[in-house]
Amino acid sequence: MLREVTATRYVNPLHTGGSVPGVVEADDLGTYVLKFTGSAQGVKALVAEVVVGELARRLGLRFPELVLAHFDPAVAADEPHQEVQDLLRASAGLNLGMDFLPGAADFTPEVAEVFPVDPLEAGRIVWLDALTVNVDRTVHSSNLMVWPTFGTAPPRLWLIDHGAALVFHHRWDGAAPDKAYDFRHHALGGYGPDTRAADAALAPRVTEELLREVLALVPDAWLRDFATPDEARDAYVTYLLARARSSATWLPTDFPSRDELAAADARRAAVTRKGRPAWLKQVPDLHGRPGAEQDWSVHLG
C-alpha cells in the first residue's frame, strides 16, 4: 500500500496547472506536491496519477514516490487567495502527495536542445504514454523534470503529472483498447524513440497480476464509476491488459523532426493570426511559444 502521511504545514500553491496543487510539509519530515480531491479535475485525475505513476515505477521509469496525505484545511489558514481557500476546504481528508524534487527543472524546449535522451529511454516513456493514453506530454507541456540539477549525480528525466492520462475512464462505453492516438507532438519525439524495442521489453511485463497490484493502491473512495470498487478495478485491469496485448495496433513509430514540428507550429500560428481582427494581430501566440511552460523551480524556490 502507499504510505500515509499527515500534512503539517502548507507552504504555497502552484499555479502551473488547472488543478492548483500545493506544496506541503508532512509529519514524516518530507515535502510533497499535493494533488487535491476538490480540484476541478476530480478524483479521476488522482486515480490516473496512481495507476500511471506506479505502473511507470514497476516498468523501470523514474517517478517520484506517491503518498496518501491526510489534509486539514486549518494548516493553510493563512493562504490569502479565496479560490485556493475554497479548493483546500473542499479537499479535507485524504489527498495524493508526490515527493518534491528540490531544484528540479522543467524539461522545456530550451533544455531539450542540450539534454541528451537515449532513444530507448525515450521509447519506453512514449510506450507508457501510448499504453495509458496520456495526452499531456507534448512539446508544449512535457510533464517531465530534469533532476538533480546540482551536485555530482548525473541529471535524469523524471516523469510527473499523469492526471490527464487514462482518458477512457471518462467514457467507458466508448473505450476501445486497440484505438490509436496521435503522438506526433510527444515531448520526446525528436529523440528518435525506439518504441519497437520498448514494446518488446515492456508489453510482456504488463500482466494481470501487475495491474491488480497497481490498482490495489487506489483508495476505494476514488473509484466511483461502478457499483463496487472491486468492479472498478476489474474494469481498469481488463482495459489496460487488452491494450497491452494489442500494442501492434497503436504502437507509435513515426515522429516528425524538431524542424518539422517548428514549421507546423509556424503554419498554425500564421493561420491563427490571419483569422484575428486587426487589433489582435500583434498579440503574441503564447500557446505555441517555446518556453511557455512554467518552471517548478521558479515557484518552489
Coil, helix or strand for 93?
strand
Q: Cβ neighbours of residue 163 under 8 Å, at least 6 residues apart?
A: 19, 35, 41, 45, 46, 48, 49, 136
pLDDT tens for each residue of 141-173 = 999 999 998 888 899 999 999 999 999 999 998
pLDDT tens for each residue of 254-300 = 888 777 777 877 887 888 777 766 655 554 544 444 443 344 433 33
The pLDDT value recorded for residue 267 is: 87
Q: What is the pTM of this model?
A: 0.87
Instruction: Give the N- to C-terminal CA distance of the chain in Å, as an integer.
Output: 31
Q: Residue 283 — φ and ψ, nearest 5°?
A: -75, 125
DSSP string, 110-131: HHHTT----HHHHHHHHHHHHH
The sign of the dihedral angle between the CA atoms of 55, 60, 63, 65 is: positive
The pLDDT value recorded for residue 280 is: 53
Total count of residues recorded for the chain: 301
As a whole number of angstroms, the distance between CA 220 and CA 157 comes to: 31
DSSP string, 38-55: TSTT-HHHHHHHHHHHHH
Coil, helix or strand for 155?
coil
C-alpha cell recorded at residue 91: 479537499
Distances from the Cα of 17 to the Cα of 78, 143, 227, 245, 296, angstroms: 22, 11, 32, 33, 11
Q: What is the dihedral of CA 57, 63, 65, 67, to 10 degrees?
A: -90
As a whole number of angstroms, the distance between CA 179 and CA 249 comes to: 7
pLDDT tens for each residue of 88-104 = 999 999 999 999 999 99
**Cβ atoms of 144 and 160 closer than 8 Å:** yes
pLDDT tens for each residue of 171-190 = 998 889 999 988 888 999 98
Q: Going by DSSP bridges, is the β-strand pair 3-13/66-71 parallel, antiparallel, or unpaired?
A: parallel
C-alpha cell recorded at residue 235: 474494469
For Cα atoms 131, 137, 141, give the angle at the middle one, nearest 5 degrees.
170
The pLDDT value recorded for residue 3 is: 98
C-alpha cell recorded at residue 150: 546540482
The sign of the dihedral angle between the CA atoms of 35, 224, 65, 60 is: negative
Distances from the Cα of 270 to the Cα of 66, 140, 193, 238, 262, angstroms: 42, 17, 29, 44, 12
Q: H-helix or E-strand containing 209?
A: helix 208-215
The pLDDT value recorded for residue 298 is: 35
